[in-house]
Amino acid sequence: MAESWVNFAERLGADLHLELTGPGSRRAVLMRALREAVQSGRLAPGTRLPPYRSLAADLGIARNTVGDAYAELVAEGWLTARQGSGTRVAERAAPLTPVRSRRTPVRPAKPVYDLVQGQPDPSVFPRAAWLASARRALTAAPHDAFGPGDPRGRRELRVALAGYLARVRGVRTSPERIVVCSGTAHALRLMASVVGGRWAVESYGLPFHRALLAAEKVTTVPLGVDEHGARADRLGDEQAVLLTPAHQFPTGGPLQAARRTAVVDWARSTGGVVLEDDYDGEFRYDRRPVGAVQGLDPDRVVFMGSVSKSLSPTLRIGWMVLPGQLVEEVVRTKGEREQYASATEQLTLADFIASGAYDRHVRRMRQRHRRRRDRLVSVLAERAPQVRVSGMAAGLHAVLELPRGTERAVVKAAAWQGLAVEGLAGYRHPGYAGESRDGLVVGYATPPEHLYPGALDALCCALPLD
């Protein structure tokens, strides 16, 4: 039986009439009616629609049904939603006549804005300071630097790293326990080959890392994550556990002190290995620095880091701080010669650290990232106060918590705004049976300065109103 709803004049200043007819769910029927009203020109671009609570009450259907219909039409480009402005017919959704020529809006072929986490803005690479270090390093380089490389890495870099990591991250090591690699992915491949078996991994983490471990025949078991970090009390008979203790990726927050101790106790009692991914430990804003778990037991913890977040992923330089009993086996697995990290870039990084340039760059980037983060929080507080922001005390990204069931629609809506951003669902371990979360992982370090305001505007336009 056909239904209609009329007389929204008190709210909109004009009557609005839609016929809800035809097959399908209530949401599908409502979406079809709204599309038809836009296509025919009865709802002109810029027309404000009723709040979905009001519309749901008038139609006698669930608020979620109307809210989902609005969200899907925003994602498709028919409507726009902005805090303080309500839900309106999109300016691009012009009437299409005649009916036979109807077309759906075209999604932008390439994102205009990028809030995907994972890398710093490449325009802020410290070119002058890096070039100065490269000149000094090449001038002082011994002849053997231009021969076959040592698979442990250049000693100059290992010495510089030992001092830096001890001072900044509380790592207990010597140059002999450090092996240079091309990044965390390379370190994980080496450790998978050496340790093997079953690993516990955080229930939310990089799918790339899980796929990499699976390719190396390592079975991953999801370990629940809450506001205190990974659930160390649920570790079992796994051979290793992979953690991001300084800033859980991607949900945020450090691993609680009691759980850090519990992880080390587990490794001691079972003979397991703790792999500590320190992917952005140098960037913290509203809390005291959190030292490395490795400092609690250097004989049970492998500490992994790189310059991908602090300098650039193109340098392909990372490191492993290893328990003494694993060094030789890791080196054998890596191969007789250095095949990955350039010796000249290793020497340059060694000088960059020793000269203090690396510290100065990190401090400068910490201030820049904090300003970026604060602006994100300020804009959201003004335009989307219903969205809770978490995981922002450190790192290069924040998590925007969304109402249940809205994540996919918001990501689609962002794409229609020309914005690349990722949802939490893509980071969830497929074998995790715990409660799921809806949210966006927003990388605020990536956009160049002139595009950041537009990126935040696009983000706010894609978010649900409540």
pLDDT one-digit tens code per residue, 146-169: 988 889 999 999 999 999 999 999
Q: Is 256 domain-assigned?
A: yes
pLDDT on residue 457: 92
289 lies in a domain? yes
pLDDT at 267 over 50: yes
Are residues 410 and 327 both part of a single domain? no
Of 311, 342, 357, the domain-final residue: 357
Asked if residue 301 and residue 352 are part of one domain, the reply reads yes
Residue with tokens 């310059």: 307
Please compute the mean of the pLDDT values over residues 8-36 and round it to a whole number.
66
146's tokens: 């231009």
Whether 108 is covered by a domain: the verdict is no
Residue 225 scores a pLDDT above 90: yes
d(CA 109, CA 107): 6
CA–CA separation, 161 and 172 (whole Å) = 11
Q: Provide the pLDDT for residue 87.
A: 82
Residues 272 and 401 in one domain: no
- Residue 397 has a pLDDT of 92
- Do 345 and 421 lie in a common domain? no
Question: If you average pLDDT over every residue of the chain, what do you get?
Answer: 87
pLDDT at position 100 over 80: no
Most confident of the ranges 21-25, 318-322, 382-386, 449-453: 318-322
Asked if residue 378 and residue 303 are part of one domain, the reply reads no
In a domain, 107, yes or no: no
pLDDT tens, 179-224?
999 999 999 999 999 999 999 999 999 999 999 999 999 999 999 9
Last residue of a domain, which of 304, 331, 357? 357
Which 3 state secondary structure label does DSSP give 389? strand
Over residues 19-30, the mean pLDDT reads 78
Among residues 299, 333, 357, which one ends one of the domains? 357
What whole-number distance in Å separates Cα of residue 305 and Cα of residue 163? 14
Model confidence at 66: pLDDT above 90: no
CA distances from 178 to 55, 199, 266, 312, 414 (A): 63, 23, 24, 21, 43
Amino acid at 172: R
Listed in order, strand segments (DSSP E) in 23-82 are 79-82
What CATH number has the domain bearing residue 404?
Answer: 3.90.1150.10
Domain that holds residue 293: 125-357
Residue pair 220/243 in contact by the 8 Å Cβ criterion:
no
Same domain flag for 345 and 367 = no
Establish if 70 belongs to a structural domain. yes
Give the whole-angstrom CA distance, residue 40 versus residue 388.
38
Q: Are residues 414 and 294 in the same domain?
A: no
Number of H helices, E strands in the chain: 14, 19
pLDDT over threshold 80, residue 248: yes
Rounded Cα distance, 433 and 418, in Å: 34
Higher pLDDT, 408 or 35: 408
Q: Is residue 81 part of a domain?
A: yes
Count structural domains, the chain.
3
Sign of the torsion formed by the C-alpha atoms of 89, 95, 101 and 105 = negative
Q: Kindly report the pTM of this predicted structure.
A: 0.77
Q: How far is CA 280 from CA 23, 153, 169, 250, 334, in A?
A: 52, 22, 11, 11, 25
Q: How high is the pLDDT of residue 107?
A: 53
* Rounded average pLDDT over 380-384: 92
Q: Averaged over 342-366, what is the pLDDT?
A: 95
Same domain membership, residue 312 and residue 286: yes
Q: Give me the mean pLDDT over the 13-37 stretch.
A: 73
Task: Answer for the pair 248, 225: CB distance below 8 angstroms, yes or no.
Answer: yes
* Predicted local confidence at residue 69, as pLDDT: 82
pLDDT digits (tens, 9 = 90+) for 436-453: 889 999 999 988 888 999
Type of residue at 292: A
Collect all residues with Cβ–Cβ distance below 8 Å to 66 and sequence separation of at least 6: 27, 30, 52, 53, 55, 56, 59
pLDDT at 378 over 80: yes
User: Among 160, 153, 169, which residue's Cα sits nearest to residue 133?
Assistant: 160
* 453 and 379 inside one domain: yes
Do 187 and 271 belong to one domain?
Answer: yes
Q: What's the pLDDT score for residue 108?
A: 55
**Do 208 and 79 reside in the same domain of the chain?**
no
pLDDT at 393 over 50: yes
- 137 lies in the same domain as 206: yes
For every residue of 247-312, DSSP letters joined together read S-TTT--PPPHHHHHHHHHHHHHH--EEEEE-SSTT-BSSSPPPPPGGGG-TTTEEEEEESTTTT-
Q: Is residue 241 part of a domain?
A: yes
